[in-house]
Amino acid sequence: MADHPLLAIEDLHAAVDGTPILKGVSLTVQRGEIHALMGPNGSGKSTLANVLLGHPAYEVRGRILYKGEDITGWGPDQRGRAGMFLAFQYPEEIAGVSVVNFLRAALSNRTGVDYTVLEMRLRVADAMRDLGMDASFADRYLNQGFSGGERKRNEVLQLAVLRPDLAIMDETDSGLDIDALRMVAEGVQRVAGPERGFLVITHYQRLLDYLTPDVVHVFVDGQVVASGGPDLARRIEDDGYEAFRPGGSA
């Protein structure tokens, strides 16, 4: 399995009620790599994130290979247990479920180990200390009354505790100020490692001021239209996405 890419997307198509959204996406994420997928609003970026985690609303063609195994037919639970993680653009509130209890259930499901409340509290406390988070955060109900920055900080905490093999971050930088952007970037860098991979989906280049990806993909109209190094993100900042559409100057 170690010889296979962590993630390989092969000619992936997705539609809703017959309307095509993804139109032949192919890309590969190797272990230890951070990829940035950049595209304008409405290009299908969130659809790609949802399809990668098995959202049932889409009609899918093509293949998704995870660690060399075809997971195209797997459900979200199976993908999560296998080490895939999705950080949502707009995380949901779950009233009555504390952050620490949510993480305990998620990690137990991910690893098959039934952690005690004390074990989980110690693990979460260590992660919060590393991330510079207040300890009282652990007992708040999941995302209830959280500011936008707190919701994103909570997702970074989930990354730090669950330590997924593949993390897909859907516009995690949306609406964040400079301090929160830096926190997200630092959190990704803390979790990143030689066996893990990240696909960071974003509209703006600004997150990449704090997080340097190995590969940048430009995503327009449901397709990857260009791939390259970090300089590609700067070209987007200078020229906009229109330059990458058919007839553009990219």
Q: Where are the domains of the chain?
A: 7-88+164-244
**Best CA proximity match to 14, nearest among 58, 74, 67, 57:** 58
Dist CA 205 CA 134 (whole Å): 29
Dist CA 3 CA 5 (whole Å): 7
* Strands (DSSP E) found in 185-244: 197-202, 215-220, 223-228
Q: Is the pLDDT of residue 177 over 80?
A: no
Q: Which residue has the higher pLDDT, 181 or 59?
A: 59
The β-bridge partners of 19 are: 16
DSSP for 44-93? Answer: SHHHHHHHHTT-TTSEEEEEEEETTEE-TT--HHHHHHTTEEEE-SSPPP
Task: Please give the CATH superfamily to which domain 7-88+164-244 belongs.
Answer: P-loop containing nucleotide triphosphate hydrolases (3.40.50.300)
**Which pLDDT tens digit goes with each residue over 70-112?**
999 999 999 999 999 988 766 676 788 888 988 999 898 888 8
**Mean pLDDT, residues 129-157 taken together:** 80
Q: Is the pLDDT of residue 247 over 70?
A: no
The β-bridge partners of 23 are: 13
What is residue 1's predicted lDDT score, i.e. its pLDDT?
Answer: 46
**Which pLDDT tens digit goes with each residue over 11-65?**
999 999 999 999 999 999 999 999 999 999 899 999 999 999 999 999 999 999 9
Average pLDDT over all residues of the chain: 88
Q: Rounded to two decimals, what is the model's pTM? A: 0.88
Q: Are 203 and 232 in contact (CB under 8 A)?
A: no
Cα angle, residue 169 at apex, residues 226 and 49 outer, rounded to 5°? 70
What is residue 58's predicted lDDT score, i.e. its pLDDT?
Answer: 97
What is residue 188's predicted lDDT score, i.e. its pLDDT?
Answer: 86
First to last CA, the chain: 37
Q: How sure is the predictor about 154, in pLDDT bands with cuts at 50, 70 and 90?
A: confident
What is residue 237's predicted lDDT score, i.e. its pLDDT?
Answer: 85
